[in-house]
Amino acid sequence: MKIGELSRATGTNIETIRYYERIGLLPAPDRTAANYRSYGAAHRSRLSFVRHSRELGFTIEEIRSLLDLSDDPARDCGEADRIATAHLEQVEAKIAQLTLLRDELARIVGRCRGGVAADCRVIEALGDHSRCENPH
Amino acid sequence: MKIGELSRATGTNIETIRYYERIGLLPAPDRTAANYRSYGAAHRSRLSFVRHSRELGFTIEEIRSLLDLSDDPARDCGEADRIATAHLEQVEAKIAQLTLLRDELARIVGRCRGGVAADCRVIEALGDHSRCENPH
DNA sequence: TATGCACTCTGTAGCAACTACAGGGTCAAG
DNA sequence: CTTGACCCTGTAGTTGCTACAGAGTGCATA
């Protein structure tokens, strides 16, 4: 399949596919006589793996490690688990941080009663961290 | 105060302060005879406003609008409220998305029982989106 | 007085993970 | 034979910083 088909099949931008090839995340495919990239099923499933991992928030470098693992089926799976667990912890930390932030924002937004900027509680609150209830 | 003091006073990296000046978020301060930047209380409070807003996740462009508002105290405060409310909604959306993602990751991680990569449930799950319970 | 060290200056390049061109070539249909 | 959809390479832009390199300044100590 040509790059446009692969793009549609995996929901990946064409430029992104070429980018992944450039950084060595996808192997360079064969070329047609017209120098068009020509992909097979292996490319497609590798790209799906990458996209899915990106959707789950893994970094490119994490994905590189995960791909290395899956390329070598005899290797110990502990590292995959370690990567995924560490990532899960990061996501949980991010959720916790955003939740504090949301509460703070909700407090700030809730105080606006209209009027002019000089009396605006939103602007006032942004200028004065000491009014915050949460660390952030 | 010199840039190092302002940096310590506001918890902002020196390079970041110069960056804010370059993009026009902070006004260029006076210079000493030795061409050192010399800041006053107004710079300090403006920078605190910027840092606090950044900590709350506002983009530079949003902060620019908020600063424009606070520079003109006669203007209507509705826009500040609109910016903050829109941002709050974005944060809430992000939390919701990360929560789905966390659940999915927890499901994936929970299935690893060790062994070799060929049998790894983590790697398998990453390669196959159709096993997911949530959209992401 | 020399010299060492902390501080400051400008300007540029790098980071992640793409995205968006510009300026060309290829191919099938009408 | 030309139109339009597709593909190619290479480079530059995005956000919000951060990290130098290479130079000048200011103050205390040997």
Average pLDDT over residues B100-122: 81
DSSP string computed for B85-112: HHHHHHHHHHHHHHHHHHHHHHHHHHT-
Residues whose CB is less than 8 angstroms from the CB of residue B69 and which lie 6 or more positions away in sequence, other chains included: A117, A120, A123, B75, B77, B79, B80
Residue B113 confidence (pLDDT) above 70: no
**Chains A & B: contacts with CB separation below 8 Å:** 168
DSSP state of B55: H
pLDDT in tens, A12-21: 999 999 999 9
Chain A closest-CA separation from residue B109 CA (Å)? 6
As a three-state string, the secondary structure of B5-37 is: HHHHHHCCCHHHHHHHHHCCCCCCCEECCCCCE
pLDDT in tens, B8-31: 999 999 999 999 999 999 999 999
If pLDDT is split at 50, 70 and 90, which confidence band does A114 have? low
- Cβ-based contacts of A76 with chain B (< 8 Å): 114-117
pTM for this entry: 0.85
If pLDDT is split at 50, 70 and 90, which confidence band does A8 have? very high
- Cβ-based contacts of A115 with chain B (< 8 Å): 76-77
Chain B closest-CA separation from residue A31 CA (Å)? 25
Could you give the C-alpha distances from A123 to A61, A104, A118, B79, in angstroms and in order? 40, 14, 8, 11
Average pLDDT over residues B63-81: 87
Residue A131 confidence (pLDDT) above 90: no
If pLDDT is split at 50, 70 and 90, which confidence band does B114 have? low
Residue A95, chain B, CB below 8 Å: the answer is: yes
pLDDT value at position B2? 97
* Closest Cβ opposite residue B129 in set A48, A85, A109: A48
Residue A37 confidence (pLDDT) above 80: yes
Residue A117 confidence (pLDDT) above 90: no
pLDDT value at position A51? 95
Residue A23, chain B, CB below 8 Å: the answer is: no
- Å from B13 (CA) to C24 (C1')? 45
Average pLDDT over residues A61-80: 88
Residue A120, chain B, CB below 8 Å: the answer is: yes
Residue B65, chain A, CB below 8 Å: the answer is: no
Nearest nucleotide, C1' to the C-alpha of A51? C17
**Looking at this protein, which amino acid is placed at residue A64?**
R
